[in-house]
Amino acid sequence: MNWILSTFERLWVTALFLAVPILGVWTWVIADRYGWWFPENVSSYGDQIDHLFYVIMWMVAVTFVITEVVLAIVILYFTERKQGRSTYTHGSHKLELIWTAVPALLLVFIAFSQMEAWNDVKIDLPRGVATAEVPYTVDEPIFDVWASQFDWRVRYPDENGNFEGAGVIESPYDIYVPVDTRVVFRLRSRDVLHSFFVPNFRLKQDAVPGMAIPVWFEAQKTGSYDLICAELCGWGHYKMAGRVHVLPKDEYAAWLATARREHRSNGADDLVALGDGDDDDDE
C-alpha cells in the first residue's frame, strides 16, 4: 500500500479536516436564527446555569478550534512526502506537563466556579416557616409530582396541606404555578427512573423510585412551558410530556379555588344537556 499523498491530495485532506471547526463554528453562529439555541430563560436561576454553560462552552470552543487548526497545519506541513525510514521520539516532558497541568487547572476552576450555582439550585432550598417572601418551603411543598410510565401526575394538597385524603387534587399533564414565587415541590417516581425537565426553567431533576426529592424554581414570566422526561424510561418515553402553566398570582389563586371547587363537584358539571346549540351547518 502506498501512503504517500500527492500535493493535491494533501490540500484536499487538510481542507476536509479544516471543515470540521469551520462548520462547527458556523452552526453555532446561525443556531439562534433557526431556533436551535436555548429556549427563553424564565427562571430565577436560569442565568446562573446559562453562565456556567457559556463559560464551559468558550473553554471547549477555543480548545476545539485551536486543536483542529493545529491538526490541519500538521496535515498540511508534516505529511511524509517521500518513502523512507521512520524516526522515533520519546516525546517532550515539558509538553506533557503543560497539557496535563492546563486541563487540571481548568477543571479546578470549573469545580469552584460552579459551587455557587449548585448551592443555589440544589442545596439552598427554602426551609423552615413559610413567609410572604417564601410562601412554600421544603416542609410545605406546593405540590407533589409523581412520575410513572408514561405520564406526570401532579398532586395538590388539600386546604390543610395534607397530601393524602379526601381533598387532594390529582391531575395529569398540566401543572399550574404562580409567577415570581419560589415554588417547591417533591418529585417522586412510581416505577423507574424519570427526569423532570423544563428547558425554559433550566431545571432538570431525576425522579428516583422510593425517594421524595425536593425541587424548586421561580418562574419570572407567565406562559405555558413544555415539560418532558429526560431519562429514557421505557418504550413510551417520547410521549411522557406535560405543560407547566405559569399564572399571575391572583389567577393562580383563582385557579386553585376553582380546582378545589370542581374537586368537590356533585357531578352536575358532567352533564352535557345535548341541545341543538350547534346549528351552523357550514359543512
Partner 1 sequence: MPMTSSIRTRARALALALSFASLTVAGCKLDPKVPEQRHSLNQAELAKNPDLAGDPQAQATLSGALGMLFGTPAEPAYLRVADWIDDGYDPNLGGYDELTADEWDALVADNEVHFVRQLAAIDAGAFDDVARPLYAVDLWRRWEQHLALLEPDGDEPGMQPDDLLDPDDEKYGTWRDEAKRLFTGFYPTMRETADMYRQQCQHCHGVSGGGDGSTAQFLEPRPRDYRPGIFKFTALKDKSHPRRQDLARTLREGIYTTSMPSFARFSEARIQGLVDYVRLLSRRGETEILLANDFEAYSEDVDSSLALEKIRDTYLFVNDRWPTDDEKVIVVEGEVPEPTPESIARGKQLFLGGEGTGANCASCHGVAGLGNGISATEIDPETEKPVLVKDEWGNPIAPRNLTHGIFRFGRRPIDIYRRIYSGINGTPMPAHIGMQITLDDGTKREIDENDIWDLVHYVQYLGTVDIEPAVKLTANAMAAARAGHDDHDHEHGHGPGQHTHDDDETDDHSHDTQSDGAAVGGH
CA distance 74 to 82: 16
Residue 210 sits in the site that holds partner 1 (CB under 8 A): no
Q: Point out which span in 69-77, 116-124, 159-167, 194-202 binds partner 1 (CB under 8 A).
A: 159-167
Residue 123 sits in the site that holds partner 1 (CB under 8 A): no
Residue 159 sits in the site that holds partner 1 (CB under 8 A): no
- Nearer CB in complex with partner 1: 123/273: 273
CB 243, min distance to partner 1, A: 8
- Interaction with partner 1 in 58-117: which residues (CB under 8 A)? none
Residue 172 sits in the site that holds partner 1 (CB under 8 A): yes
CA distance 228 to 150: 11
Residue 160 sits in the site that holds partner 1 (CB under 8 A): no
Q: Point out which span in 28-36, 136-144, 250-258, 264-272 binds partner 1 (CB under 8 A).
A: 264-272
Residue 197 sits in the site that holds partner 1 (CB under 8 A): no
Residue 260 sits in the site that holds partner 1 (CB under 8 A): no
| b/e burial code for range 63-73 (CB count within 10 A of at least 16 → b) | eeeeebeeebe
Residue 235 sits in the site that holds partner 1 (CB under 8 A): yes
CA distance 169 to 162: 11
CA distance 183 to 143: 9
- Nearer CB in complex with partner 1: 77/235: 235
What is the rounded (10 degree) CA torsion for 227, 231, 232, 233?
-80
Radius of gyration of the chain, Cα coordinates, nearest whole angstrom: 28
Among 88, 129, 132, 164, binds partner 1 (CB under 8 A): 164
Q: Point out which span in 23-31, 46-54, 167-175, 176-184 binds partner 1 (CB under 8 A).
A: 167-175
- Nearer CB in complex with partner 1: 164/250: 164
- The distance of Cα 10 from the centroid of its chain, to the nearest Å, equals 43
Q: Which residues bind partner 1 (CB under 8 A)?
A: 1-2, 148-151, 153, 162, 164-166, 168-174, 190, 235-236, 239-242, 262-268, 270-275, 277-278, 282-283
